[in-house]
């Protein structure tokens, strides 16, 4: 096994530059697993920023991944808008009831003030703590929900699809509010210590919305929003397909994309043509019952398809590792990256 010669920051930045670093970087978005490590409930874990900081440090100490995750849970932004997050003992907090029930609610909607939302302030404290611990040696990824995908939580999926197809005036009013919040929230995280921002935009995927509608709506939102974010961004489609919108995502200015297990990683790599770095695309739902042999094979396959030439960070396909994935699988995954991910790669890509 080769001794690493780069810091995680150097490794990730080299790969983002579409050059081959010492080995393939890998990212384990372990949002709630710190609660298990600290022996507290998930609700309790997120109630204090120093606990999330400790949890993130412990996770990285055990698994050796190359990026810290600033995300607490997606519904935290709904809380900022006055909604509720529902906590569980064995999964990420979920969004509560919609806060928008009609056009009047959109007309009166205001972008939240970050400092007035205690959960958001805790996220900033965690980012600040991570930055103080690692300086510029390990990338820290802050996360925002895209203004275009946020309404799924704000008003429910069905109501949002009806709005998107039937009331564009109200839709654009909602986007104006969401864009303001998203930009402020992204930049606040960068100021607090985040190196980059993950722009979580599941509705950009052709799995969810047809491309024409996306180009008329979410794509315009992404271009406007990301242009105002004062740091690099990675766009994640939360296990939705990416082929079909690669060129569109590139034109938003984002530097990376999360790849779905439904996509062929090699095909996405070719479509990107070194214009975006890929993250993915391990199936974290199936990961629960992977044997050591399966874990190693899936890691090898992903590295073989995504790794050549850099521009690749091995990760799961959804942007969050489920609570039910055993620690032993994550241990094996990390070991497999260290065994098979050193550059120059032992195995070339299939079909290249």
Partner 1 sequence: MTSHAIQNDVDELVATLLQLDRVASNRVLHRFGAQNDGLIGLESVISGALESIGERWEAGSVSLAQVYLTAKMCQELLRPWTPPESLTPKGNFALVVLEDQHTLGAGLVRAVLACAGMAPVYWGSLDTAGAIARILAEKPQTLLVSTLMLRSALRVSKLTKAIRDAGLSTRVIVGGAPFRFDAALWQEVGADAVGRTSADALALLRAAHRGDP
- Residue closer to partner 1 by CB (options 68, 323) is 323
- Residue closer to partner 1 by CB (options 102, 135) is 102
Question: 252 vs 143, 218, 221, CA distance in Å?
Answer: 17, 10, 9
* Main-chain phi, psi angles of 240, to 5 degrees: -80, 150
Tell me which residue of 204, 314, 220 sits closest to 269, measured CA to CA: 314
Count the site residues for partner 1 by CB under 8 A: 36
286 binds partner 1 (CB under 8 A): yes
**Which listed range, 45-53, 59-67, 137-145, 153-161, lies at the site for partner 1 (CB under 8 A)?**
153-161
The residue from 19, 44, 97, 110 that contacts partner 1 (CB under 8 A) is 97
**Which listed range, 49-57, 90-98, 124-132, 294-302, lies at the site for partner 1 (CB under 8 A)?**
90-98
For the record, the structure tokens of 312 come out as 């690749």
Q: Which residues contact 14 (CB under 8 A, 6 or more apart)?
A: 6, 20, 21, 310
DSSP per residue, 210-256: -HHHHHHTHHHHHHHHHHH-SS-EEEE-TT---TTSHHHHHTTT-SE
Window 295 to 334, contacts with partner 1 (CB under 8 A)? 322-324
165 binds partner 1 (CB under 8 A): yes
The residue from 71, 209, 268, 313 that contacts partner 1 (CB under 8 A) is 209
For residues 235 and 255, is the Cβ–Cβ distance under 8 A? Answer: no
For the record, the structure tokens of 132 come out as 């103080």
Window 254 to 273, contacts with partner 1 (CB under 8 A)? 261-262
The residue from 108, 158, 344, 350 that contacts partner 1 (CB under 8 A) is 158
CB of 74 to partner 1, least distance (A): 11
DSSP 8-state assignment for residue 276? S
For the record, the structure tokens of 203 come out as 């509705």
The residue from 48, 173, 223, 241 that contacts partner 1 (CB under 8 A) is 241
- Residue closer to partner 1 by CB (options 72, 340) is 72
Report how far residue 147's alpha carbon sits from residue 201's, in angstroms, rounded to the nearest whole number. Answer: 8
Q: Which residues bind partner 1 (CB under 8 A)?
A: 86, 88, 90-92, 94-98, 156-158, 161, 164-165, 206-210, 213, 239, 241, 243-244, 261-262, 283, 285-286, 288-289, 322-324
């Amino acid at each position: 096994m080769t001794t690493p010669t780069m810091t995680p920051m150097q490794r990730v930045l080299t790969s983002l530059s579409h050059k081959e670093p010492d080995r393939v970087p890998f990212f384990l978005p372990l949002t709630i697993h710190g609660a298990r490590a600290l022996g507290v409930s998930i609700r309790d874990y997120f109630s204090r920023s120093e606990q999330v900081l400790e949890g993130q440090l412990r996770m990285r100490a055990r698994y050796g991944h190359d990026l810290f995750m600033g995300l607490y849970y997606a519904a935290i932004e709904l809380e900022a808008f006055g909604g509720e997050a529902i906590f569980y003992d064995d999964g990420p907090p979920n969004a509560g009831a919609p806060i928008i029930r009609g056009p009047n609610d959109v007309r009166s909607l205001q972008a939240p003030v970050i400092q007035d939302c205690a959960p958001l302030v805790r996220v900033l404290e965690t980012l600040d703590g991570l930055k103080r611990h690692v300086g510029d040696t390990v990338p820290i990824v802050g996360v925002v929900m895209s203004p275009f995908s946020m309404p799924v939580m704000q008003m429910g999926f069905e109501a949002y699809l009806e709005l998107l197809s039937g009331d564009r005036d109200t839709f654009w009013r909602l986007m104006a509010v969401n864009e303001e919040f998203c930009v402020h929230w992204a930049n606040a995280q960068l100021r607090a210590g985040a190196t980059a921002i993950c722009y979580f935009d599941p509705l950009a995927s052709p799995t969810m919305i047809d491309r024409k509608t996306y180009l008329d709506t979410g794509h315009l939102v992404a271009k406007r929003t990301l242009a105002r974010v004062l740091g690099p961004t990675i766009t994640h489609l939360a296990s939705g397909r990416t082929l079909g919108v690669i060129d569109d995502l590139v034109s938003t200015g984002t530097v990376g994309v999360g790849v779905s297990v439904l996509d062929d990683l090699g095909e996405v790599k070719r479509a990107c043509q070194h214009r975006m770095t890929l993250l993915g695309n391990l199936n974290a739902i199936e990961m629960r019952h992977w044997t050591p042999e399966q874990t190693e094979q899936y890691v090898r396959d992903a590295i073989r398809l995504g790794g050549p030439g850099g521009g690749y960070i091995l990760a799961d396909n959804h942007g969050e590792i489920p609570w039910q994935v055993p620690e032993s699988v994550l241990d094996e995954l990390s070991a497999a990256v260290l065994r098979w991910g050193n550059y120059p790669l032992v195995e070339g890509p299939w079909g290249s």
